[in-house]
């Protein structure tokens, strides 16, 4: 019996000792854990309340210099394009309706106006949400890198409005990187903690500590700057309402109200409590709570929670809460951007902004620090867009295999100053993809042969020699040019495969006779042609070969259009698209335009080439005679152009004088394939020009139609009246039948 008693006593003593040991173990673990936690806690306490080193620059924050929206405006001040890295509208405190302020405070920070950046009453809620199971699991797996070790421990939420603002403004990059499995902070303490609780958790804790520190500092500095705690709080709330992400690329409550409800934020009243609550919920997490037509249950639940908080705090009455809860979510239909297609214009503006304005960049426009006012007329731009698309569609009906592949470009210049009224660098949908301003701009960046659109420069060079005029008789006869550096020659033929013998120079220009253009170039020298091209503003180097007279040297469409504009106006200047730039302060820092001067040509050369280009339209055999009809009652001058093997079709033309306009059209494939036999400038490009000019003047977008000088029109009338056209039958009979010489057949 005694043995059994002693054994039982020993078992009891062992049990008590085991329990005591286990208890001592827990105490030791608690003490170790407390000591371990005390070190980072103490370091964090010092950093938050006493460390004021390595603080960010507060000037931009204080001045409310947040990224907003840069606009490009047309010549009449109408928006052409919004440019923004973040689509934001700044909202001052007094511009936030009371119902919206109350929704924000109820949903996000009820003690906002009383705390100093951090709400300590929220710490208890956060502590209750700590996932201790994950923490214990992680402690038991120290050193491992499995999924459990990377799971979250600390909850999201608990941040004040000031903390959220600090996170989005000063700590945006840090916040974006904190979910990485790599430790983003190199301190010894951070590395030790990382081995215990994981790199992601350490990243978040370090960011949170810095967020709290900066929140205290921001509130202190704003109070000093604005003179009172109340004013500082109002300014902080305004910055929060302007900075916060609202989903779908929109930032700030003002943009959110416009985007989701189609209403300015300033018009919200107490009857819009439901919408104010929706916006406040969106600010919590745009990913989950942004108003939409598909996830209504989750959005409604968040909205109703916010309404309940608003009612509990007396912001709205129970009746107002009840009515607001009963309203369905009504989001306006999101339409595609209805702004006029201006891709090439935007591309040109960005190029001009960086090349001509020292100290400014595209970033200034994207962040809303500047607004750009362009020379573009939105009405003319729309007319040109429609004309090009229609012209390409007509071509595609003749060539179904080209659908969506054939390209085109158009530019419209004002004659007096070369300001760009419209610019299209490519079709709106190319290879099933909508155009964007970053796409290839075929007006300014595409160097292509101009074909016979180059010939007026040859004739102008000849008129400056004083031995040529429109009545000079010139030979339309077989002629050859050197073919490269060897001894071979290339024979030049006309588009119609015939030669007419001796004909008036006026007729040679109107009918675009290739042989005559080469013959004239040989008479005056190709150097004279190149010099005249430079005189008219062509900057691209042209090759010093005779075939340059037929458009064998490449130019871009903008400088070709500018050469014709110079001929039409007599004014030498360079095209431009920015007329002024305005800083966000309201200061105008640049006026557009280049220096201009009368173009330097000898004698009557300018009026002669103007009359010659007018004859291209008025003479029945002219390549642009389609523009001389009752259906087109606008006096123009111009010239067709078609390159070898019908690769490109062009037409460039102008109305007369400084008050007129110049329109250039080019159509062709990017891969330089042929448009097809017979697809000339007169067939493909001229109809586009015709529609642009007809509508631009018909809709009174560019002023009244200028008239050509009466004397000029009279000279053409006399030429036609004297049966000069009829005599071509005689000269044609005298000329020998044409042979096919080479491949330069440019109409």
User: 530-566, pLDDT tens digit by residue?
Assistant: 999 999 999 999 999 999 999 999 999 999 999 999 9
What angle (nearest 5°) sits at the alpha carbon of residue 139, between those of residues 133 and 142?
140
Are residues 305 and 402 both part of a single domain?
Answer: no
Are residues 301 and 393 both part of a single domain?
Answer: no
By C-alpha distance, which of 635, 633, 615 is closest to 624? 615
CATH number of the domain bearing residue 142 = 1.10.3810.10
The more confidently predicted of residues 638 and 208 is: 638
In the predicted model, what is the mean pLDDT of residues 610-620? 97
By C-alpha distance, which of 610, 695, 684, 620 is closest to 653? 610
Are residues 94 and 187 both part of a single domain?
Answer: yes
* Domain membership flag for residue 145: yes
Both structure tokens of 332: 């306006």
- Name the helix (H) or strand (E) containing 71: strand 70-73
Please give the mean pLDDT across all residues of the chain.
85
Are residues 14 and 73 both part of a single domain?
Answer: no
Are residues 250 and 390 both part of a single domain?
Answer: no
pLDDT band at 129 (very low <50, low <70, confident <90, very high): low
The total of structural domains in the chain comes to: 3
pLDDT band at 589 (very low <50, low <70, confident <90, very high): confident
Cβ neighbours around 41 below 10 Å, total = 11
Radius of gyration of the chain (CA): 38
Are residues 259 and 399 both part of a single domain?
Answer: no
Are residues 573 and 467 both part of a single domain?
Answer: yes
C-alpha 536, offset from chain centre: 31
DSSP of 561-589: HHHHHHHHH-EE---B-EEEEEETTS-EE
Q: Is the pLDDT of residue 255 over 50?
A: yes
The more confidently predicted of residues 559 and 156 is: 559
* Domain membership flag for residue 332: no
Please, are residues 549 and 560 in contact by the beta-carbon 8 Å criterion? no
In the predicted model, what is the mean pLDDT of residues 500-519? 96
* Domain membership flag for residue 335: no
Count CA atoms within 13 Å of residue 647 on its CB side. Answer: 17
The per-residue pLDDT for range 697-730, each reduced to its tens digit, is 999 999 999 999 999 999 999 999 986 544 444 3
pLDDT of residue 15: 60
* Domain membership flag for residue 331: no
CATH number of the domain bearing residue 640 = 3.40.710.10
Are residues 314 and 423 both part of a single domain?
Answer: no
* Domain membership flag for residue 651: yes
Domain that holds residue 172: 86-326
* Domain membership flag for residue 309: yes
Cβ neighbours around 603 below 10 Å, total = 12
* Domain membership flag for residue 333: no
Q: Give Cα separations from 708 to 611, 658, 714, 736 (angstroms).
A: 9, 11, 10, 38
Are residues 600 and 611 both part of a single domain?
Answer: yes
* Domain membership flag for residue 531: yes
pLDDT of residue 515: 97
By C-alpha distance, which of 93, 88, 96 is closest to 268? 96
Both structure tokens of 570: 């007599």
pLDDT of residue 331: 87
Contacts of 681 (CB under 8 A, 6+ apart): 451, 452, 453, 623, 640, 641, 642, 649, 650, 651, 747
- Name the helix (H) or strand (E) containing 334: none
pLDDT of residue 640: 97
The per-residue pLDDT for range 276-294, each reduced to its tens digit, is 999 999 998 888 899 875 6
Q: 538-545: which pairs have CB atoms within 8 A and are 24 or more residues apart? A: 538/457, 538/562, 538/563, 540/447, 545/481, 545/482
In the predicted model, what is the mean pLDDT of residues 331-357? 77
DSSP of 587-610: -EEEE-----EE----TTHHHHHH
Q: Which of 326, 355, 387 is where one domain is finished?
A: 326
Are residues 32 and 163 both part of a single domain?
Answer: no
Q: Is the pLDDT of residue 37 over 70?
A: no
Round to whole Å and give the CA distance between 353 and 348.
8
Predicted TM-score (pTM) of this structure:
0.74
pLDDT of residue 148: 43
- Name the helix (H) or strand (E) containing 335: none
The per-residue pLDDT for range 623-653, each reduced to its tens digit, is 999 999 999 999 999 999 999 999 999 999 9
Both structure tokens of 585: 């302060």
Are residues 78 and 103 both part of a single domain?
Answer: no
In the predicted model, what is the mean pLDDT of residues 88-108? 94
Are residues 610 and 530 both part of a single domain?
Answer: yes
The more confidently predicted of residues 719 and 197 is: 719
């Amino acid at each position: 019996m005694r043995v059994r008693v002693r054994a039982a006593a020993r078992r009891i003593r062992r049990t008590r000792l085991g329990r005591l040991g286990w208890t001592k173990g827990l105490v030791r673990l608690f003490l170790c854990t407390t000591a371990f936690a005390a070190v980072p806690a103490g370091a964090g306490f010092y950093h938050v309340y006493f460390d004021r080193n390595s603080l960010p620059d507060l000037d931009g924050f204080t001045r409310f210099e947040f990224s907003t929206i840069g606009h490009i405006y047309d010549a009449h001040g109408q928006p052409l394009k919004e440019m923004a890295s973040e689509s934001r509208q700044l909202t001052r405190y007094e511009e936030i309706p009371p119902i919206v302020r109350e929704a924000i405070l109820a949903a996000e920070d009820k003690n906002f106006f009383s705390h100093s950046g951090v709400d300590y009453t929220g710490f208890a809620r956060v502590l209750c949400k700590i996932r201790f199971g994950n923490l214990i699991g992680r402690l038991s797996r120290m050193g491992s890198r499995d999924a459990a070790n990377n799971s979250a421990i600390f909850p999201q939420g608990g941040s004040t409005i000031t903390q959220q603002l600090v996170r989005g403004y000063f700590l945006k990059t840090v916040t974006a990187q904190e979910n990485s499995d790599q430790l983003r902070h190199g301190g010894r303490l951070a590395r030790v903690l990382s081995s215990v609780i994981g790199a992601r958790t350490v990243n978040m804790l370090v960011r949170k500590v810095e967020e709290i520190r900066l929140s205290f500092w921001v509130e202190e500095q704003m109070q000093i700057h604005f003179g009172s705690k109340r004013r500082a709080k109002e300014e902080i709330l305004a910055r929060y309402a302007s900075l916060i992400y609202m989903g779908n690329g929109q930032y700030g409550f003002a943009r959110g109200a416009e985007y989701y409800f189609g209403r300015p934020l300033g018009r919200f009243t107490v009857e819009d409590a439901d919408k104010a609550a929706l916006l406040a919920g969106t600010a919590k997490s745009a990913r989950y709570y942004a108003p939409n037509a598909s996830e209504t249950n989750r959005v409604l639940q968040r909205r109703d929670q916010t309404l309940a908080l608003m009612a509990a705090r007396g912001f709205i009455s129970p009746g107002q809460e009840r009515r607001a809860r009963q309203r369905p979510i009504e989001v306006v239909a999101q339409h595609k951007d209805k702004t006029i297609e201006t891709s090439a214009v935007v591309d040109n503006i960005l190029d001009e902004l960086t090349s001509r304005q020292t100290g400014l960049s595209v970033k200034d426009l994207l962040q809303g620090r500047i607004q750009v006012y362009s020379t573009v007329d939105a009405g003319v731009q729309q007319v040109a867009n429609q004309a090009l698309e229609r012209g390409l569609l007509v071509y595609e009906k003749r060539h179904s295999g080209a659908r969506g592949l054939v390209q085109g470009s158009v530019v419209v210049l004002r004659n007096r100053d070369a300001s760009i009224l419209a610019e299209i660098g490519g079709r709106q949908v190319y290879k099933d993809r909508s155009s964007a301003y970053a796409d290839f701009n075929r007006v300014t960046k595409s160097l292509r042969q101009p074909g016979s659109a180059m010939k007026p420069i040859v004739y102008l060079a000849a008129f400056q020699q004083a031995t040529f005029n429109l009545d000079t008789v010139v030979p339309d006869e077989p002629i050859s040019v050197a073919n490269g550096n060897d001894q071979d020659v290339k024979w030049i033929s006309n588009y119609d495969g015939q030669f007419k013998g001796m004909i008036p120079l006026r007729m040679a220009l109107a009918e675009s006779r290739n042989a005559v253009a080469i013959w004239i170039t040989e008479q005056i020298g190709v150097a004279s042609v190149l010099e005249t091209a430079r005189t008219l503003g062509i900057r691209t180097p042209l090759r010093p070969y005779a075939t340059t007279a037929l458009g064998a040297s490449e130019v871009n469409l903008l400088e070709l259009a500018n050469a014709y504009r110079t001929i039409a106006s007599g004014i030498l200047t360079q095209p431009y698209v920015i007329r002024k730039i305005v800083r966000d302060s309201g200061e105008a820092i640049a006026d557009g335009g280049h220096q201009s001067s009368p173009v330097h040509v000898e004698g009557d050369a300018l009026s002669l080439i103007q009359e010659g280009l007018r004859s291209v339209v008025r003479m029945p055999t002219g390549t642009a005679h389609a523009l001389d009809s009752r259906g087109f009652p606008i006096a123009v001058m111009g010239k067709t152009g078609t390159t070898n093997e019908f690769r490109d079709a062009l037409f460039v033309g102008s109305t007369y004088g400084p008050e007129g306009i110049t329109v250039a059209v080019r159509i062709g494939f990017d891969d330089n394939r042929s448009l097809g036999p017979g697809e000339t400038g007169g067939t493909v490009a001229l109809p586009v020009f015709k529609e642009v000019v007809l509508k631009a003047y018909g809709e009174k977008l560019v002023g009244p139609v200028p008239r050509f000088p009466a004397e000029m029109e009279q000279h053409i009338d006399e030429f036609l009246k004297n049966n000069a056209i009829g005599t071509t039958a005689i000269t044609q009979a005298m000329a020998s039948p044409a042979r096919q010489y080479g491949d330069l057949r440019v109409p």
